Structure 1
């Protein structure tokens, strides 16, 4: 996933690169960062889960697309968005790493847990 900044002069390979860049800069995250963090297909969860990202970009319902994510992943995704919105750069990076490190078997609901 590539994050493109509004001025199109800067691109970032992933959220980690974007956050680390922002940690070096004064000021807060850009509007586009907040918008991307609020979009499941573009946030740290969507970055990790390419299938979810593709499903959401195809226009399917958010509730349907996220139904297989574990409550822990959903909570971390919401915390990630809040950290970006509140300009808590170090917290955002810690949450990003938590999302990236969740084992596959804990990232998704087990089939018997599905709604």
Structure 2
């Protein structure tokens, strides 16, 4: 397990968690809404170099197969190349309340 945590995300805000590995690996990303996620949230996975563009609200590239839109829960397993990666969880639908989302990222899931 690389990441296993509950994140508090401000209204219309986001949180990011990074991880890396030296060779291609299967990775499982799971996100589950805990509090105030009835309208859904968004999950993205991107190369860590893309986070700068994301923060600046510029064009950025993410891995489409690791994207969840307007979701209350999410799970996807896929192969990623070696490198540094960032999972972003966005409170994109709830502009009034903060929310809590549990994020788990597992490298080499069984």
TM-score band, normalised by shorter chain: 0.3 to 0.5
User: Which structure's CA Rg is the greater one?
Assistant: 1
The higher relative CO (CA closer than 8 Å, separation ≥ 6) is in 2
Higher share of residues assigned strand: 2
Higher share of residues assigned helix: 1
